[in-house]
Structure 1
């Protein structure tokens, strides 16, 4: 998973500013399209018949917007919760080469001083445009559904601490996972909404009534569900819980559900069912990747947790006979490919990896290919194998 294109798969596009290929963007597929860039912007992206420039030969390639990951803990051997700015830069560079041109750096539950330190490390990368923002996955979550997170650092929502974390970020924090059943949920949610931060419901044992009250408390804000199904009570026909509440809210257009479509966190048929149920405009594919993404099997860290990767699957090292999944090892293009292989339409899968996450976190100049948008592109073969990546008008892969 997450491998670079082979040399024999590459086409030399180093000086190319015009491509003619199949365009996949905005929920559409245009079989014969032209994409032209100038500097860091797109100047044309549409049918070849409407292009006024010089005619060029069509290539058997797909061109899509740069992929956007709003839940990523690291990759390439480095993690956002575990190291300094050089580790963060390593993770960013790895995912960028793999086609993720914009991403949030995700942190996990930790002591307040540790979170403040990590926010101080990542915030300059947000201001420099290297990261699209910071995602806090905790510490206001449920111990009963902590997953790979260390329960020692999970606490009830603390409005004072939340204000300190947001102040430390100086606008860099874009999303926060919070359990609906935590104390002071409504107050914490309102603070997040007031700071234009996505309220992401997850890592929760909430029943359906509690989940509905949480959704009601988020009216006026932007809401998502952290990796739907994972870190939640399973949905039962007599106990619908958070899963049913989130699916219903997504169906009403009130919430975006994250899906880790790597065939480990979710069966591909489950992913296809959610696409058929709520549609790509309410789905954001996310990697939940940790440091081991793109790396061989072995031992890694996810915050304070020790993680073992075996046959590409990350789990807590001390989880015994019932391994606890500890993040992902796939990259965003892997998720698109797996979703399509499971029956999701390619246009829908790409939209959920580009347009929907861009809208969710307010990246208004990316996520679709259209004139005036930032020149972020991913070029693949017909099989969705990676060929090239452009970010800010420059080929990086």
Structure 2
């Protein structure tokens, strides 16, 4: 199916221009400035940005990925797709190994189908001191054979593994990630600067939700935050929801991260739902005023954020230009995931994953692989 979208304000690379684009068989075939050479579907002079890429999301719309249930995963993906996320990595949380293996195996079906871009194991190889909303009793020290077994359970669709670098055998686990084409991320960690640097040297390329569940930055104890920000090999995740990080801290990271920033949602199933009580894996979570915390007022437990809101906050509160906002919500996460040849920007040959925004930067329409949802 071929179609031409006209009368659009296109955000491509570092510019915003009035123009048009053509889509054929799910891919962008032409991009032009000004009036289109033929009639097409008018977008009413609205903004067109690349589909958002969420590299860390646990659920939304009342459904979650950690259960591994395919019906729940479809529902969670559909919810975030309606908010502009056209590429998503399903994040699991710490659970018994047999549950993780089963959940990964079931979600792999949706990866093969092309719905999901991979599976992210967040835990169980994380620090008890910085476990956040993960159940401490289920945490483990890395074991490479066990680690490889988890990767194998995803049937080639394990995309990322979050590891605390200070744990015994952690560097061996990072090396196992690299050897098997899985992204190693440092997170939920009490690592020193040197321990974090060692993990980066071993191949870690992502910092999981920088600042959150992480040894704080000290002027004589720079920790993993400084290591991640200062290294061009590392993409740092940030949760821009107004709860996890102060806007000034996000500004600091945007200015400082040599390897780039990727906004993520870290959303749980309560995203898009009313305040109430929800599950995040084996943990019970209370959502009040849109903020998710472990029951009884405990640690922040994921978020209710969507990528379109993160985009708007980046523009309105962090002063990002529209191209810069697309970089942190689309291109940088696509690069970190190794998918930038396919998604992450509006370019000829890439997938026609597009989000049409109105003047208030609210989602008007979403296209995925050339089809309006």
TM-score normalised by length of structure 2: 0.95
**Which residue number in structure 1 is paired with residue 268 of structure 2?**
290
Structure 2 Cα separation of the partners of residues 195 and 379 of structure 1: 37
Structure 1 residue 16, shift from structure 2 partner: 6.2
Three-state SS of the structure 1 residue aligned to 2:230 is helix
Three-state SS of the structure 1 residue aligned to 2:146 is helix
Structure 1 residue 25, shift from structure 2 partner: 2.8
Could you tell me which of 228, 234, 237 is aligned with 1:255? 234
Q: Deviations over 1:265-294 (max 9, x none)?
A: 111222122112236x61111000000000
Could you tell me which of 1, 6, 15 is aligned with 1:29? 15
Q: Deviations over 1:331-362 (max 9, x none)?
A: 11110111111122221121111111111112
Could you tell me which of 307, 311, 323 is aligned with 1:336? 311
**Which residue number in structure 2 is paired with residue 45 of structure 1?**
31
Could you tell me which of 307, 321, 339 is aligned with 1:345? 321
**Which residue number in structure 2 is paired with residue 153 of structure 1?**
138
Structure 1 residue 124, shift from structure 2 partner: 0.5
Q: Is the 8 A contact 2:51 2:330 kept in 1?
A: yes
**Which residue number in structure 1 is paired with residue 342 of structure 2?**
365
Runs of 4+ deviating beyond 4 Å: 54-58
Q: Please tell me the root mean square deviation across aligned C-alpha atoms, in Å.
A: 1.7
Q: Is the 8 A contact 1:162 1:188 kept in 2?
A: yes
**Which residue number in structure 1 is paired with residue 300 of structure 2?**
325
Q: Is the 8 A contact 2:4 2:39 kept in 1?
A: no
**Which residue number in structure 2 is paired with residue 6 of structure 1?**
none
Structure 1 residue 159, shift from structure 2 partner: 0.5
Paired residues for 1:161-180 under 5 Å: 161-180=146-165
Deviates more, 1:117-126 or 1:260-269: 260-269
Structure 1 residue 329, shift from structure 2 partner: 0.2
Q: Which has the higher contact order (CA 8 A, sep 6+)?
A: 1
Paired residues for 1:11-160 under 5 Å: 17-26=4-13, 28-48=14-34, 52-54=37-39, 59-160=44-145
Q: Is the 8 A contact 1:271 1:339 kept in 2?
A: no
Deviates more, 1:267-276 or 1:106-115: 267-276
**CA, structure 1 residues 324+20, in 2 after alignment: closer, same or farther (shift >3 Å)?**
same
Q: Is the 8 A contact 1:22 1:29 kept in 2?
A: no
Q: Is the 8 A contact 1:380 1:387 kept in 2?
A: yes
Q: Is the 8 A contact 2:160 2:182 kept in 1?
A: yes
**CA, structure 1 residues 56+295, in 2 after alignment: closer, same or farther (shift >3 Å)?**
closer
Structure 1 Cα separation of the partners of residues 32 and 146 of structure 2: 48
Q: Is the 8 A contact 1:41 1:392 kept in 2?
A: yes
TM-score normalised by length of structure 1: 0.90
Paired residues for 1:230-245 under 5 Å: 230-245=212-227
Q: Deviations over 1:279-329 (max 9, x none)?
A: 6x611110000000000000100000000000000000134xxx3100010
Q: Is the 8 A contact 2:5 2:40 kept in 1?
A: no
Three-state SS of the structure 2 residue aligned to 1:60 is strand
Three-state SS of the structure 1 residue aligned to 2:86 is strand
Three-state SS of the structure 1 residue aligned to 2:44 is coil
Q: Unaligned regions of 5+ residues in structure 1, if any?
A: 1-14
**CA, structure 1 residues 61+110, in 2 after alignment: closer, same or farther (shift >3 Å)?**
same
Could you tell me which of 303, 322, 340 is aligned with 2:281? 303
Q: Is the 8 A contact 2:105 2:155 kept in 1?
A: no
Q: Is the 8 A contact 1:77 1:91 kept in 2?
A: yes
Structure 1 residue 52, shift from structure 2 partner: 4.2
| Count, aligned residues | 370
**Which residue number in structure 2 is paired with residue 246 of structure 1?**
228
Structure 1 residue 139, shift from structure 2 partner: 0.7
Structure 2 Cα separation of the partners of residues 318 and 195 of structure 1: 40
**CA, structure 1 residues 239+99, in 2 after alignment: closer, same or farther (shift >3 Å)?**
same
**Which residue number in structure 2 is paired with residue 224 of structure 1?**
206
**Which residue number in structure 2 is paired with residue 272 of structure 1?**
251
